[in-house]
Structure 1
């Protein structure tokens, strides 16, 4: 910062706590950081989450997102609204909500000609995120969470050298204990929440 101030007119505002819709909390002494999008997700749910009642997973059981015939597509106004919805879901999935990544990716496949069922599915994802708006990505240097985030230190192309140097260990992970499943497939409620927990996500 001091070097920047030597060349540019800068104002120090202290530690960042809000940036582009991201709420940032951290404890330097305990070496942890928590990032969430509570306000953003609540607004998202208010704008798009039309479905009634509580939803436990991003997508309903048995839902398949397949591009259908053009005549079954919703009207132009609803289609533009769906574009906005999917874009908003992507912003959440990329930053703090990987649990919605698979659902968002599926919806993005039909963004040009969604039907009514697919629009309703998108609204369900928005409602799910709103109901779990305090969900956060927690990164910490402690025995509990460090094991969940250590992969961030390891670059994919360096796995072999890191293992050889003793910096990383590879372990077999059973399908039932694979947190990445929530980003690659549709899961039933129990498995979905188990993956969120394994990934170190704090959901309400």
Structure 2
């Protein structure tokens, strides 16, 4: 509190004035009295992509924190009784740092407005990612990062946190070979909050053949407690894609949770208890490749479209994966990392590969929604290369279905979920 008060006085943030006689309190309405109050923040997908890129190039990620960002003159500059735009300090901060980075020669990514890159022809010098008042910085040379920090400190009140070690609940371990992210502290807090610190560990997040339904005779449970647990588990998937399927399944029953649902949710906690310290490892590689399960992105969600065949269901899933792959490819291009070759997308359904590669409109696919056929254009333009793979090596199975323990462990290692302290696991 004392630090905040010092910043208020130092920056001359506001001044006290008499309340207008015709105003009783706050009565502004969004869209009428003020607009654009939000501030863009980097998505977890893009942050993980930054880790993957830094690990591939053997760069180190540094973290900076701007002190009292919303008290840095923005309130006094942006809020006036007669001003139609009203209070928009967050957006004012983003506009200011955006303008400053542009003056320093950074280019903003078209695909991600929180990513900035400074480059000279084909060489990438610095990459900056904004997360409100936190800046993640990486680059090819340490002296460039040092000079950039000094430039920021000349204009803003900056705390240099050095190498990134903790960010939005994620622990980050960096060395010359890999970057490892985990949420052990957060996981321990969740276990403690739900009295599961001494529970017996489970081998998998969800039992093989587990069936859940919204229509059952089981007693209902407290919705607030259930939603809190699922919310915590959803946040834990930021570094634990191995629990993605189980948590995605449980999140469907927020409105009708019962004892059966809570029992399965607690099994996920038992699995987390047995795998504390686990996370995702981004390793040094010869080249950064985007595949069906990419280095930076994972997701699992229920489809909104009812499919009339297995091929259609797989085709819809492929379209979603292609969407994400093309976006990531564009983002890498904005970061001066161009991928010339087509992105390999592995599919374990031969019919889908045939439909995507054959430009002839099949009579058996006329019921497919037209919007999903853009995958053919992606294949023809060489943006995407569909490859048939055996179901046994399909990595995305861990995100979409319950698995036996042996197969689950195999896929978990393949998607780089491992323990930081146990070398044999890595």
Q: TM-score range by the shorter chain?
A: 0.7 to 0.9
Please say if 1:60 is aligned against 2:207. yes
Please say if 1:90 is aligned against 2:237. no
Residues in 2 aligned to 1:63 and 1:46: alpha-carbon distance in whole angstroms: 26
Q: Tell me the alpha carbon deviations over residues 38-58 of structure 1, each in whole angstroms, 9 at most, x when there is no partner.
A: 121122223333895331110
Structure 2: 5+ residue stretches without partners: 1-148, 297-321, 330-338, 345-384, 420-424
2:404 pairs, out of 157, 171, 188, with: 188
Residues in 1 aligned to 2:204 and 2:294: alpha-carbon distance in whole angstroms: 26
Structure 1: 5+ residue stretches without partners: none
- Indicate conservation of the 8 Å contact 1:97/1:136, yes or no: yes
Task: Look up the SS of the partner of 1:179 in the other structure.
Answer: coil
Judge which range, 180-189 or 145-154, deviates more: 145-154
Report the count of equivalent residues.
193
2:19 alignment counterpart? none
Q: How does 1:44-193 map to 2 (within 5 A)?
A: 44-48=190-194, 49=196, 52-68=199-215, 72-75=218-221, 78-93=222-237, 95-142=238-285, 151-152=294-295, 156-157=325-326, 165-166=340-341, 168-169=343-344, 170=385, 171-193=387-409
Q: 1:187 to 1:51 in 2, by over 3 A?
A: farther
Q: Which has the higher contact order (CA 8 A, sep 6+)?
A: 1
Residues in 2 aligned to 1:120 and 1:5: alpha-carbon distance in whole angstroms: 51
- Indicate conservation of the 8 Å contact 1:36/1:136, yes or no: yes
Larger radius of gyration: 2
Q: Normalising by the residue count of structure 1, what TM-score does the alignment of the two structures yield?
A: 0.81
- Indicate conservation of the 8 Å contact 2:199/2:273, yes or no: no
Instruction: Give the alignment's Cα RMSD to 1 decimal.
Output: 2.9
- Indicate conservation of the 8 Å contact 2:290/2:325, yes or no: no
Judge which range, 127-136 or 47-56, deviates more: 47-56
Residues in 2 aligned to 1:132 and 1:36: alpha-carbon distance in whole angstroms: 11
Runs of 4+ in 1 over 6 A off after TM superposition: 145-150
- Greater helix share, structure number: 1
Give the CA deviation at 1:125. 0.4
- Greater strand share, structure number: 2
